[in-house]
Amino acid sequence: MVKKINLKYALHTLNVISMVLAVVVMGLCLWLRYEWDFKHYVYELEAQKVLWTGPYILMASSALAMATVVIGIRATIVEHSQLLLLFVIGSVVSAILGLAGLAYTLNHGIYKSDLTPWLEERFFVLFHEMDYNERSARIIRIIQEDIECCGPSDWTDYQAFNKILPDECRNPSTGNIAGGGCAEEFARWMEPKTGWLSGIALLLVVIQLIGISIGLWLRKVILQDIRKDNNKSYHLVTRNGRENQV
């Protein structure tokens, strides 16, 4: 009995923590999806698949985690073995989705990942289009000014292709040229956002894995108690006062 109470308390605590972490992951994913400046950059760079796929997977994972937490809390309170099994299955699927979203986000959302070469290639396309495409020129100017970068790889790109160095490449206060290229600086600018999201998502997965093991353990204890109850002998009292053993 003491073991079951302790398991129930542990699982309930883990479920509460999982719910909080899932809400935080969902909130960060929604912020990355709908924050105005970032959304503008994503659309202009045509980077929806690269930068939003990971958060979309994590949104699905956190939504499933919230649903399984509700099931887990209910199953823990009523000691329902089938609900506990459903909780475990849902948590496993959610954890797998979380790991997939985490891996994709880290592989396409931080410095020194696949994001940097993709950005460099994309920025070079915009860089060569800026002489005749106003949209490409506008997004290059905006990113260079906001992120404080210059050129796809660095400021020498303008020199190498005989282009005039724009004012957006210079610091408005000092007049110094920004040293970093836009591909690397944009990836560095992205890293804290995706880094926090990935860290919290990883913590959620770890808590889920612990919850899965405790859920299976609790289910085993509950099933053992049910078998013990079923194996007990009950005595029925008949009308004549005699007891019949069942």
Express each pLDDT in 49-102 by its tens digit: 888 999 999 999 999 999 999 999 999 888 888 999 999 999 999 999 999 999
User: Is the confidence at residue 184, as pLDDT, over 50?
Assistant: yes
What is the average per-residue pLDDT within 149-168? Answer: 90
Q: Tell which wins on pLDDT, 30 or 79.
A: 30
Residue 235 φ/ψ region, left for φ over 0, alpha for ψ in the -120 to 50 degree band, beta for the rest: beta
- Residues of the chain with pLDDT > 90: what percent? 49
Q: Is 77 exposed, middle or buried (0-12, 13-18, 19+ CB in 10 A)?
A: exposed
| pLDDT value at residue 222 | 86
What is the average per-residue pLDDT within 103-123? Answer: 89
**Interatomic CA distance for residues 51 and 36, integer angstroms:** 14
Q: Tell which wins on pLDDT, 61 or 7.
A: 61
Query: Which has the closest alpha carbon to 18: 214, 217, 203?
Result: 203
| pLDDT value at residue 40 | 87
